[in-house]
Amino acid sequence: MSIQEVTLPSLDSGRELDHVSQSLVLLSESFSRYGNEFAVVSSFGSESVVLLHLVSQVAKNIPVLFLDTGKLFGETKRYRDTLIERLGLQKVITITPESEQVKSEDPHGILWNENHNRCCFIRKVVPFREALIPYKAWASGRKRYQTLERSSLPSVQEEDGKVKVNPLAGWTKEQIDQYIETHRLPQHPLVADGFKSIGCMTCTDLPTNDQDDRSGRWAGSEKTECGIHLSLSENIRLMNQN
């Protein structure tokens, strides 16, 4: 399989499409090309509403995969329910880790404190990769401004034999905030408490760096990604070095 960067059409006026229109075109083209083999992945976190609102404008029945690790904030799951109703999302699929593996490897629920990478692997990476099997392409809400590792993120990429679409890759933080305000979209309840990036309860703190929204994730460690956006070989490497 090979994928080339999608060439976005220009408006009749000859000017480039604005960032919102580009994202809508990319989502629409992806859904048109892959149909039921295209899904969107969402954490229902602090900025997730932007991508989900765009998805709802393209097709409300696009599958949205949501990982419930068993360690999420209750606010996150309630926010998921709020957005499902508000945006009319018709196919939100909740993914959970394999219970026997969790019982075997994390019987006391403290693996996160002993091995971040292994905890993410069994609670996120394994169930996520299993859930992706029916799909040829999937979209995420990653942005270049979020981390150094994401600074060169393309709009479309190929990894592990699947096409990954990043409709918000080129958006700025200001554009994200403006979109939420313009469309009067509900925000994650924890945003009001100062949280900028929201994952599992055990590994999410208030940001330690005002210039880095994700600095509250896995605070005190070098970890910056949960693993679902990394190759299988990279996940294994990280676990072995822990």
Decide if 8 is inside a domain: no
Q: What is the pLDDT of residue 102?
A: 94
Decide if 137 is inside a domain: yes
Residue 119 assigned ligand-binding role? yes
Decide if 149 is inside a domain: yes
Residue 88, SS3 per DSSP: coil
Tokens for 99, please give them.
Answer: 């219970």
Residue 226 pLDDT greater than 70, yes or no:
no
Decide if 2 is inside a domain: no
Tokens for 153, please give them.
Answer: 């993120």
User: What is the percent of the chain with per-residue pLDDT over 90, rounded to a whole number?
Assistant: 62
As to burial, measured by CB atoms within 10 angstroms (0-12 exposed, 13-18 middle, 19+ buried), residue 170 is middle
pLDDT averaged over every residue in the chain: 86
Look up 226 and say whether it is catalytic: yes
Residue 203 assigned ligand-binding role? yes
Cβ atoms of 161 and 44 closer than 8 Å: no
Decide if 4 is inside a domain: no
Instruction: Work out how many domains the chain is built from and give that number.
Output: 1
As a whole number of Å, the CA-based R_g of the chain is 18
Decide if 145 is inside a domain: yes
Residue 38 pLDDT greater than 60, yes or no:
yes
Q: What is the pLDDT of residue 215?
A: 64
When pLDDT is cut at 50, 70 and 90, the band that residue 46 belongs to is very high
Q: What residue numbers bound the domain in which 220 lies?
A: 19-241
pTM of the model: 0.85
Decide if 9 is inside a domain: no
Residue of 89, 226, 230, 239 marked active site: 226
Residue 57 assigned ligand-binding role? no
Q: What is the CATH number of the domain that holds 39?
A: 3.40.50.620
